[in-house]
Amino acid sequence: MDKKLKEILSHFRSPPPGYGVIHWWILDGDLSEKRIMEEINWVKNLGISNVLIAAGYGVNPRYLSEEWFNMVKFAVKQAKERKMFVWLADEGGYPSGFAGETFNTKYPELLMKALLIGERIDVEDGQVIELEASKNIIGALAVNLTDNSSIPVDVSSGRIRWAAPKGRWQIWLIQNCFCSSPTRYVHHPTGAKDTTFSLCDYLNPKAVEAFLNEVHENYKKHIGPYFGHLLLGFFGDEPDYSIPGIPWTEGIFEEFERIKGYDVRPFVPFFFLKEMPEEAKRARADYWDVWSRIFSETFFKMQFEWCEKNGLLYTVHLNHEDDMRLLTRSEGDFFRCMRYVHVPAIDVIWRQIWMDKVADFPKLASSVAHIYGRRFVLSESFAVYGTGLSLEQAKWVIDYQLARGVTLILTGIFMPRSFKNPQSVHFARLIQYVNRASFLLSLGQPCAKIALYYPSSDLWLGNYHVDKKVWDIARQLLERQLDFDFIDEGSVISVLEVSNGVLKNLSGQLYQAVIIPPVNVLSQRLLNRLREFAESGGRVIFLGYKPFMVVKDSFLAAEKVQVNLRWAICLPEEGVTSRVIENLPEPDVLLNMFVPSVKYVHRRWRNIDIYFFFNESENLIRCKATVCGKGSVQEWDAELGRIISLKSKQVKENSVEFSLELEPFEAKFILVGPLMPEADAEKKMLEPLSIVLDLSGDWIINIDGKRYVSELKYWADLGHPSYSGAAIYRKEFELSVEEIPKGARLFLECPNVCYSARVWLNGVYLGERVWRPFRWEITNVIKSGINLLEIEVRNTPAAEFAGDPHTLEKLKQEAAQKGGYLAIFLKFDIEMLPSGLLPPVRIVAYKEIEEK
């Protein structure tokens, strides 16, 4: 084993700081040095080596005060003493960009602005309206309230004079004004999310410069010496335009005319109609093109460049990544925003990712990271997931994201807040797993060969149905183990390098095929680039109908034409059929059966292929897998840090075949390469023989200071509906040697644990299980005769929070009256109330089987 591989193995078993879990360290209420040391010690002792410092509600000292910066400096020094890395939140709440109350008080002229319907004037049949048009009125529209027809009203002279035709009319005065997305500020007197504290004007360089001066430069003044080594970077939180109008800033009309070659103002009033004329739809697409460029080049690029200049990284997630239709409305273009981000990120809240959903949106951030050569992809996870989140559920949500390219998990679930968490004794197990997984998934370069085009321009035109078609294709690819990256027009034109039948991104990854979903519109520049790729030997596959609009300089001037696509592969199907697959590159992963629940990610480090497989289902998966790679096959167990050798055979020069076994919800790393490190064990395939002993019947149960002799049932049925903690189950049983099949291995199985268990047999500790399978080998511990089995079961804080019927009723009433987050996560916690150990509990004999 060479020196570098030896180092990789060492770091896998004990990952250095910078990987895995980032603790969201919310400093709320009264701060003291004592409290900071206690909290950072708790986090460090769990195995977390990364924290993100953020201001929380009612923080004292006040956010951005001199005392605040001194307290942050103390926290950073404590992190340094413990060899931890630090990130900084760039705002005292969210979204990013209001610097607390600073913009309200110091920069009122730099607040966020928008175009709105400033006034609606009812006009009767035949009535003549005359009024002055103030300077901020940029247009007006007369709308027929009967048939929804509309007539533009001239405001160019500074006066409005309009005579109403027959019908009921309303004049809309379109004006620019100050208008902010709602913000949630840590010192808001009521804690509300509203527009009291305005965001800055994201499209104005002066406003963004002021934001950097008030926040980033102040941190630099106090903790600048830590920049770039101990202090990694700044974190931004969902900057967006969640406004009732349209983003606007001074000079945007002039910039629009410079880019597009026409004055957009006559079209703007029509943008507020539900049904726009065709020309207005096109002009609106042009406007979205322009303002999203400015947003990217101003708000994001200026922060990106400031961080680069100061040796820091910039990470930020947007709003609505789970629904690109909404994101396009509020942020313009996901890919443009993320272009100027060192660590692309997403936000996973209120069970957006869960077992009953298809939510492939983490692929957006990982795709951008791959395109631009970024090593890490961050997910802010588990906000509003409820107090009762189990560690198995948390691991499932994390694995779901890891399988789609995420590598860092930012979360606050490991810090006890209102309720003590019985699962805290197991936190370190999940944290260590995530740290190891993060390390492996950050090695080398990604290997997906397929690129799937995301058509932002169609959404600008209002063709929202295209979005669903894209995600359907994405889902079908992943269900067939055909990994891909999303690409956008900007990356194809200006980033990806065409060479000998491949598109090479800045990670060194080579795309051999580009899939174009059914779209209405493409730019001429994109078509030219795709054709260049195809003529170099690449595969460009158009699915469904062909685009019929080609954009050169503007959408307004775009022609509807029959596009010549003789150089491409055009297939009538809109989904991933066998014919589509025949035209795709040879897959990296080929299973011998259709298993849509198995997802994977493939990276290559030097001559070692790294695969991460995840079984999203509750079913055991056993199949043959053929994967790209050469050499021996090993499983690197991220839970325990072990290496297990697998039997395999080289079926092609660069392909190996092995048996892939995935328990329900299981994820595992498979590494293929020559000269691999010595394994700790060899994989043994097991097959159940028989149930040796069913341990149903009465158990001695100790719970909340009381002792019961009872059959296995929920704790609520034992009279403890609101108890959160641990219960000890004890049972003596007798076993004779004759009951054990010859040569069998024995396992204790408890498939119905709510929600974690630790086991002792005859005084020997067998270990903890925090997620499936709840199975422990007892072959060398069980004895002939009387045996004593002890099982400690722990639930979640949900029972303490909502288990008492009277408390639950009050919470339901409060949720109904106030709504908000409580209304969302209360139903999650109700699902997590059932607690305890349920039957069956059994001893099962397994036999080792030879692989065919």
Q: Which residues have C-beta within 8 Å of that of residue 109, sequence separation ≥ 6? A: none
Confidence of residue 447 (pLDDT cuts 50, 70, 90): very high
* For range 533-552, the mean pLDDT: 97
Q: Read off the pLDDT of each residue in 779-807 and give the average, rounded to a whole number.
A: 97
The answer to whether residue 594 scores a pLDDT higher than 70 is yes
- CA dist 216 → 35, 207, 321 (Å): 25, 14, 26
Fold of domain 450-582? Rossmann fold (3.40.50)
Taking alpha carbons only, the member of 588, 612, 308, 646 closest to residue 439 is: 612
Residue count (the chain): 852
- Alpha carbons within 13 angstroms on the beta-carbon side of residue 801 total 26
| 336: nearest Cα among 316, 360, 312 | 316
Q: What is the overall mean pLDDT for the chain?
A: 97
Tell whether the torsion through CA atoms of 390, 393, 395 and 398 is positive or negative: negative
Average pLDDT over residues 101-122: 97
In the prediction, which pLDDT does 77 show? 98
Give the model's pLDDT for residue 122: 95
Tokens of 306: 């400031």
Cβ pair 115, 178 in contact under 8 A: no
Query: 292 pLDDT exceeds 70?
Result: yes
User: Cα separation of 725 and 799, whole Å?
Assistant: 9
Alpha carbons 514 and 831: distance in angstroms, whole number: 43
Q: Which of 285, 322, 203 is nearest to 455 (CA)?
A: 285
Nearest CA to 118 among 294, 310, 254, 246? 246
Which amino acid belongs to residue 340?
Answer: Y
Q: What is the pLDDT of residues 331-365, one digit of tens each?
A: 999 999 999 999 999 999 999 999 999 999 999 99
Domain 589-683 in the same topology as domain 450-582 = no
Mapped onto helix, strand or coil, the DSSP state of residue 318 is coil
Q: What percent of the chain has pLDDT over 70?
A: 100
Report whether pLDDT(418) > 80: no
Find out whether 834 and 714 touch, Cβ atoms under 8 Å: yes
85-89, 641-645, 848-852: the lowest-pLDDT one: 848-852
pLDDT value for 851: 74
Model confidence at 417, pLDDT cuts 50, 70, 90, reads: low
Can you tell me which residue has the tokens 């910066």?
Answer: 69
632: helix, coil or strand?
Answer: strand
Residues 77-84 have a mean pLDDT of 98
pLDDT tens, position by position, 561-572: 999 999 999 999
The string of DSSP codes covering 373-433 is T-S--EEEEEETS-TT--HHHHHHHHHHHHTTT--EEEE-TTS--SS--GGGGGHHHHHHH
The backbone torsions φ and ψ at residue 159, rounded to the nearest 5 degrees and listed phi first, read: -130, 150
Q: How do residues 121-139 score in pLDDT, each as one tens digit? A: 999 988 999 999 899 999 9
pLDDT band at 738 (very low <50, low <70, confident <90, very high): confident
CATH of 17-102+203-244+312-442, one of 3.20.20.80, 3.40.50.170, 3.30.420.40, 3.30.200.20: 3.20.20.80
- Specify which residues 171 forms β-bridges with: 121, 142
Per-domain boundaries in the chain: 17-102+203-244+312-442, 113-178, 450-582, 589-683, 688-795+835-849
**How would you classify the pairing of strands 502-504 and 510-511?**
antiparallel
Integer angstrom CA distances of residue 461 from 84, 327, 337, 458, 521: 47, 14, 19, 5, 9
Q: What is the mean pLDDT of residues 833-849?
A: 97
Residue 819 is predicted with a pLDDT of: 84
Residue type, 529: R
pTM of the model: 0.97
Q: Is the pLDDT of residue 735 over 70?
A: yes
Tokens 């900084």 belong to residue? 88
Is the per-residue pLDDT at 785 higher than 90?
yes
What is the reported pLDDT for 84? 98
* Range 188-194 average pLDDT: 94
Q: Is the Cβ–Cβ distance between 186 and 28 less than 8 Å? A: yes
Homologous superfamily of the 688-795+835-849 domain (CATH)? Galactose-binding domain-like (2.60.120.260)
| 494 has pLDDT over 90 | yes
- Helix (H) / strand (E) containing 116: strand 113-123
Dig out the tokens for 44 from the structure: 């460090």
CA dist 672 and 626 (Å) reads: 11
Q: What is the mean pLDDT of residues 282-309?
A: 99
Per-residue model confidence as pLDDT tens digits over 664-673? 999 999 999 9
Q: How far is CA 494 from CA 339, 371, 506, 525, 816, in A?
A: 12, 11, 11, 10, 51
Q: Given this model, what pLDDT does residue 852 score?
A: 64
Which of 312, 408, 383, 390 lies closest to 48 in space, CA to CA?
A: 408
pLDDT given for residue 696 in this prediction: 86
Report the percentage of the chain scoring pLDDT > 90. 96
Is the pLDDT confidence value at 86 over 90?
yes
pLDDT band at residue 272 under the 50/70/90 scheme: very high
Q: Is the pLDDT of residue 737 over 90?
A: no
Is 490:339 a contact under the CB 8 Å cutoff?
yes
Question: How far apart, in Å, are the Cα atoms of 472 and each of 162, 478, 574, 614?
Answer: 49, 10, 9, 20
Phi and psi angles of residue 440, each rounded to the nearest 5 degrees, phi first: -65, -40
Q: What does the block give as tokens for 190?
A: 């009521």
Give pLDDT tens digits for 391-404: 999 999 999 999 99
CATH code of the domain occupying 589-683: 2.60.40.1180
Q: What angle do CA 342, 343, 345 make, to 5 degrees?
A: 135
- pLDDT of 1 strictly over 90: no
Coil, helix or strand at residue 55:
strand
Q: Looking at residue 749, what is its pLDDT?
A: 98
- Count Cα neighbours of 666 within 13 Å in the Cβ-side half-sphere: 19
C-alpha 318/C-alpha 328 separation (Å) is 11
